[in-house]
């Protein structure tokens, strides 16, 4: 590799995004730009001359565009884009009294920010001599209908569709959607909140309680290794696909 790759990671302040950032810096010697609403202590601990941390609410189109402009001005290149920023709220039933505005706010973060990010970075990704990569951090919810997760199910399904379309429209950029598994993040804390049980139903709710109690949730670093690897070295044959972190095609990115 003639130079270090430049990778943008959204939602990098904690959880999977923070783990991906750490792995890109330490394992791949990448230059990383993080976009997050806050600069957390965990992110500050990674301070490096190869890390640019920008405070940015990805749902704010002008702020997102400005952050990408700053990235290009400071680092010249963009070689990879890890689209990780997401929320699960509102946890609700389609027929309850949750306002449509809450669904729209959810899609502003989980879907429309993806389009803003892609449109702004595409010129750089297309001309990357390292080969432009986009990793969409998806979910098993994208192909299921978990009760109480209507907005999340729909936004992640839309993400997968966007990934497939990108692969068709932009053959020079490799786009892949990845299921990271059930990971021990703040999103799981929201899911385990007692209020979520009302929308999810007791059976579904208990699955997540039991997963936490049995310590079977994945650490963010586990899928984080795969996401980081794909953002630098994703093979072209995966473009447009929805894969799981533990599929055979991803195992080469897992540490020994």
Catalytic residues: 138, 152, 156
Question: Per the structure block, which two tokens stand in for 134?
Answer: 């986009």
Residue 47 burial by Cβ neighbours in a 10 Å radius (0-12, 13-18, 19+)? exposed
The H-assigned helical ranges of 76-149 are: 100-107, 113-127
Strand partners, 53: 34
**Are 120 and 68 a contacting pair, CB within 8 Å?**
yes
Is-cis flag, bond preceding 90, omega within 30?
Answer: yes
Q: What are phi and psi of 12, to 5 degrees?
A: -95, 5
User: 183: which strand partners?
Assistant: 218
**H/E run at residue 176:** strand 174-179
- List residues bridging with 31 in a β-sheet: 6
Q: CB-side exposure of 70: number of CA atoms within 13 Å? A: 16
The DSSP line for 49-102 is TTEEEEE--TT-HHHHHHHHHHHHHHHS---EEEE--------B-TTSS--HHH
Tell me which residue of 219, 244, 217 sits closest to 230, measured CA to CA. 244
């Amino acid at each position: 590799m003639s130079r270090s790759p430049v990778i943008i990671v959204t939602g990098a302040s904690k959880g999977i995004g923070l783990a991906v950032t750490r792995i890109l810096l330490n394992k791949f010697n990448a230059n990383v730009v993080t976009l997050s609403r806050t600069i957390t202590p965990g992110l500050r601990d990674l301070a490096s001359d190869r890390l640019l941390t920008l405070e940015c609410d990805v749902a704010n189109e002008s702020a997102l565009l400005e952050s990408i402009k700053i990235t290009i001005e400071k680092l010249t290149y963009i070689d990879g884009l890890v689209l990780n920023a997401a929320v699960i709220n509102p946890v609700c039933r389609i027929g309850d009294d949750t306002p449509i505005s809450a669904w729209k706010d959810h899609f502003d973060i989980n879907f429309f920010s993806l389009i803003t990010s892609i449109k702004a970075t595409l010129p750089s990704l297309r001309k990357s001599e390292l080969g432009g990569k986009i990793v969409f951090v998806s979910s098993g919810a994208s192909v299921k209908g978990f009760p109480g997760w209507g907005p999340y199910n729909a936004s992640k399904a839309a993400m997968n569709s966007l990934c497939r379309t990108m692969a068709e429209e932009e053959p020079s950029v490799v786009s892949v959607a990845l299921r990271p598994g059930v990971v021990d993040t703040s999103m799981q804390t929201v899911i385990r909140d007692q209020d979520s049980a009302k929308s999810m139903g007791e059976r579904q709710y208990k699955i997540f309680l039991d997963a936490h109690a049995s310590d079977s949730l994945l650490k963010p670093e586990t899928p984080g290794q795969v996401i980081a690897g794909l953002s630098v070295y994703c093979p072209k044959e995966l473009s447009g696909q929805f894969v799981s972190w533990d599929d055979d095609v991803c195992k080469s990115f897992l540490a020994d």
